[in-house]
A and B are shown apart, each in its own frame.
Chain A
Amino acid sequence: MPNSSAEGRAVSLTVNGVLRVVEIDERTSLLDLLRERLHLTGTKKGCDAGACGACTVLVDGARVNACLNLAIRLQDAEVTTVEGLTTGDGDLHPLQRAFIDRDAFQCGYCTPGQIMSGIGCIREGRAGSRAEIREWMSGNICRCGCYPRIVDAVRHVAAGEGA
């Protein structure tokens, strides 16, 4: 190996309820940290530029694009990814269930981001009508074109939770 790896710097953060302490390159995005270091590949890279939403995760409860978050800035942050939605005994989150029931995906690649974004959308109180969901879920591109069904799924869960 001609060169040693870049000098590392430690960051500790909670991912899906587990405290992780990782030596990282300061350039590492949260997305690449999740995918390449923590092997949580459920969070997807679609554009790496905040233009597609495939990498949507919750950071301290808010939906964000993991690709534009530098991991080094997330000391003590709480990150939830799609892998953190299922309980220990494998029960799906209601929105995961709704995505299956409504067939709200085809290829499935944008789906983890859609689901995380949908959870954020409901939490933000922006799932009151189909029109509102359409607008507030527009940060997640689905090239298979499953939008009407994504709206169905989010609407279903939002209504069920009295949001």
Chain B
Amino acid sequence: MQPFDYLKVGSQAAALEAARRGGRFIAGGTCLVDLMREEVERPATLIDISALQMREIVATGRGGLRIGALVTMAAAAADPHIRTSYPLISEALELSASAQLRNMATIGGNVLQRTRCTYFRDLSAACNKRAPGSGCAAREGYNRSHAILGTSAECVATHPSDLAVALAALDAVIHLVSGSGSRRVAITDFLIRPGSAPEREHALRDAELITAVEVPALPRPVRSGYLKVRDRQSYEFALASAAVALATRDGVIRAARVAAGGVGTVPWRLHAVEQRLVGGWPSAQLWRFAAECAADGAEPLRHNAFKVDLLRRTVERQLRIVGQP
């Protein structure tokens, strides 16, 4: 680990002021400390924001929910409101990492979690995300866990977060603050596909801080859930996952929210699947028909071609789990 200056701040103003002088925020630290030890991350200054007041989960006036950026994954998953109204969030969280890591890691940090691509984590390998211009060792290398959607010539790394997939399905909004004020960005705009600049993973500006994640209200009544497919039954990143929320009235699907994880360079919202669902009657045929287009546009690599079918089947299965009457 490279030496760094450590600064613990007591207020948002102090945090932003410190960040303007250069430095990285640290919250749970589960991802950052790991990557610092590998020297993939080498911040000169760590700004510890754990004392900031961003640990509340509150109902918004509009029927949604605002989750403070420093709420731990464990606390969010255990929150009664989230468990009742947004089970896909609590399920995505509890299927992530381990209980220990969820006790440390925060909601804000989870969204910013960095890829597990082995070449990204290995300083001696070519990686455009870590070392822009050095190439992508994964594209022609071992890429079983890599993305089939949203890739570019420069990068095929998968976004690792389960939570972000649930949030993408829910049209969640990231609350940001900087010296020049606060703003809100939809999570699907906040996380950025690699394109020609894979080092840029999100829309955070310099010295800008995530304060909260807001989840809008869902049409009611709604059922939702998260399915994660992986080799072992716990403590592993997704090979494919599906976040599904379906609002059904009078036996007809009125609204659908579907997103996939483990397959994209960013959480992958599946609007085409949703369109096939809305107005339909829940049935095995509908789930299959809707899920058929889940992998449209996929560009599989040498070792991850199985993800194309796996994605379709994962979506189909989760539609059935959530949607069967």
Interface of B is mostly: mixed
> In the complex, which residues of chain B have a beta carbon less than 8 angstroms from the beta carbon of A141?
235
> In the complex, which residues of chain B have a beta carbon less than 8 angstroms from the beta carbon of A64?
100, 103-104
Among B8, B98, B101, max chain A CB count under 10 A is at: B98
From B26-34, B154-162, B165-173, give the one contacting chain A: B26-34
Whether A73 contacts B50 in the complex (CB less than 8 A), given A29-B33, A68-B30, A135-B234, comes out as yes
Interface flag for A152 (CB, 8 Å): no
> In the complex, which residues of chain B have a beta carbon less than 8 angstroms from the beta carbon of A50?
30, 34, 97-98, 100-101
> In the complex, which residues of chain B have a beta carbon less than 8 angstroms from the beta carbon of A134?
234
Which B285-325 residues have C-beta < 8 A from chain A? none
Q: How large is the interface on A (under 10, 10 to 19, 20 to 34, 35 or more residues)?
A: 35 or more
Interface flag for B48 (CB, 8 Å): yes
Whether A65 contacts B3 in the complex (CB less than 8 A), given A29-B33, A70-B33, A139-B235, comes out as no
> In the complex, which residues of chain B have a beta carbon less than 8 angstroms from the beta carbon of A137?
99
A117 in contact with B37 (CB, 8 Å): no
In the complex, which of the residues B8, B37, B46 contacts A48, with contact meaning CB atoms closer than 8 Å? B37
Please report the total number of B residues contacting A with Cβ < 8 Å. 26
B100 in contact with A27 (CB, 8 Å): no
Interface flag for A62 (CB, 8 Å): yes
> In the complex, which residues of chain B have a beta carbon less than 8 angstroms from the beta carbon of A62?
74, 103
What is the CA–CA distance of A49 and B5 in the complex, to the nearest angstrom? 22
7 additional contacts, CB 8 Å, given A68-B30, A69-B104, A138-B233?
A: A29-B33, A49-B34, A50-B100, A64-B100, A68-B104, A73-B50, A75-B8
User: Can you identify 9 A-B contacts, CB atoms within 8 angstroms?
Assistant: A50-B34, A62-B74, A70-B29, A70-B33, A73-B29, A120-B100, A134-B234, A138-B234, A141-B235
Give chain A's interface residues, CB within 8 Å of chain B: 6, 9, 25-27, 29, 48-51, 53, 56, 62-65, 68-70, 72-73, 75, 117, 120-121, 124, 126, 134-141
